[in-house]
Amino acid sequence: MRYLSQIFQPLITIPKGAKLKNTDITCKSQKLLLECGLIRPTSAGLFTILPLARRAIDKLENLIHKCLEHVNAQRMSLPSLTSARLWERSGRLDQVGAELLMVQDRHNKQYLLAPTHEEAVTELMADVGPLSYKQLPLLIYQISNKYRDELRPKHGLLRAREFQMLDLYGVHADEASAASVYDDVTGVYRRLFDSLHLPVHRVSAPPGEMGGSVSHEWQLPAAAGEDTVAVCPSCSHVSLRGPCQRCGSETTTLNSIEVGHTFVLGTRYSECLQARCTPPDSNPTPLVMSCYGIGITRLLAGSIEHLSSETSIRWPAPIAPYTALVIGPKEGSKEWLSHNPERVRGVSQLITDALGDEEVIIDDRHHLTIGKRLMLADRMGYPYIIVCGRSSTDTPPKYELYRSNSGHEEPGPLLLELSPLLEHIKQSQPKLFNKCINSFYVLLFLWKRFVLLFQCMIHLVLSDHHRP
């Protein structure tokens, strides 16, 4: 069982009525993450991720891993350092050079701390190739730290010099395969963001220095966002700018945060880096490639930016550091006699059994009043807060249940006996995501099997037709 007093969470306490003089704090998510002891700045644009935020990021990573399993993506790890020679060959060293963090080894060879790994993946495919068309399509990915020498890092994790990112790369024999896989992966993106209850919009965008034929940004509306999206009130179509391209109506402009970007790259990298595949009955041709990114630390901060108030964090429920916090009575109170630490641990264990895994934490700071701890818990945004308060001395005991995750705000606590409390928590757990994901992939599997069967039937009919 976890205890809040044992968590490394260096809070920043600001006296009531005080005005912040630190102009580096420029947005809501940055302020809340700092004050709640979730991150700590080390220098401009660089942050230590503290345990509770790390736990939330781990949960987000696990969600992404589960999603990518459904498209048969395989995880790997690439070096953070990439040879500058590769970026010279692709032409991107001059295009992006000002944002690259460069290092030089003792042999005077130049390397860069990679912000992305298209060149490195393409070189890998060239090194092991040419690949047979039978090996394709191939999806490989990593989750790792990336680096960008931001001119003016700001907004905390929203624009940092070091950030955590998913980069997924698709390798295909032809454009048709790339387009099909692109639809599958972007479908997974949509279900991921839906599971987090975030209204992330897929918006067509220019490919920029990345190149390619197809490019979509994944934009999350938020006041602190440095991008903008144009939302049509008539047909709900979302674009980057201007009147609605679908119905011609005037649009409403919203600030937004880019939390992901997806591309069909074509042969942009494979041609210059000599990565090829061997089609049936043909000479080797350049691989067709695609890539998919999600800024994980940016998505974490962006979700807080979108969901939270100015004074309290609100998490997407699946990635809250802990799902439930149990607050016991103040030491020495009359409630303390019936709900001492041992009894509070017993209640917490029953809630843990209901939730599964280690999702419950006990606020064992019994020297503080329940009201003070409840205020701090609400500020941290635990989805469920269970209080052993005045009614816990009733026969049978009743417990106060507060919901604080976004979309489930309640005007006051529910007062429940233990069994109904446990049942309420079980029933309200988010299960929709897994059901949607599984249903989607069952239908996709059945559709692909139907197409394969149809192709086989056509082949048999044609064979009979041409048989003498």
- pLDDT tens figures, 342-372: 999 999 999 999 887 789 999 999 999 999 9
Separation CA 409–CA 384 (nearest Å): 11
**Dihedral (C-alpha) 208, 213, 218, 223: value to the nearest 10 degrees?**
40
User: What pLDDT digit, counting tens, does each position of 244-297 carry?
Assistant: 888 888 999 999 999 999 999 999 999 999 999 999 888 999 999 999 999 999
Number of helices (H) and strands (E) in the chain: give both, helices first: 12, 23
pLDDT of residue 407: 52
pLDDT of residue 240: 85
SS (H, E, C) 330-361: CCCCHHHHHCCHHHHHHHHHHHHHHHCCCCEE
- Contact residues for 182 (Cβ-Cβ < 8 A; gap 6+): 170, 214, 262, 264, 290
DSSP state, 223? T
User: What type of residue is 3?
Assistant: Y
pLDDT of residue 84: 96
- Contact residues for 450 (Cβ-Cβ < 8 A; gap 6+): none
Identify whether the C-beta of residue 280 lies closer than 8 Å to the C-beta of residue 237: no
Helical packing angle, 51-69 and 296-307, nearest 10°: 110
pLDDT of residue 468: 46
User: What pLDDT digit, counting tens, does each position of 287-305 carry?
Assistant: 999 999 999 999 999 999 9
Over residues 140-156, mean pLDDT: 95
What three-state secondary structure class fits 463? helix
**Which ranges in 220-326 belong to alpha helices (H)?**
296-307
- Contact residues for 325 (Cβ-Cβ < 8 A; gap 6+): 4, 360, 361, 362, 363, 377, 380, 382, 384, 385, 386
pLDDT of 217 over the 90 cut: yes
Separation CA 333–CA 328 (nearest Å): 11
> Vertex 389, ends 361 and 325: CA angle to 5°?
15
> Exposed, middle or buried: residue 468 (CB in 10 Å: 0-12, 13-18, 19+)?
exposed
| Ramachandran sector of residue 201 (left: φ over 0; alpha: ψ -120 to 50; beta: rest) | beta
Which position has the higher pLDDT, 63 or 440? 63
Sign of CA dihedral 351, 355, 357, 360: negative
DSSP state, 200? P
> pLDDT-based confidence at 16, cuts 50/70/90?
low
pLDDT of residue 194: 95
**Which ranges in 44-174 belong to alpha helices (H)?**
51-69, 84-90, 92-96, 118-128
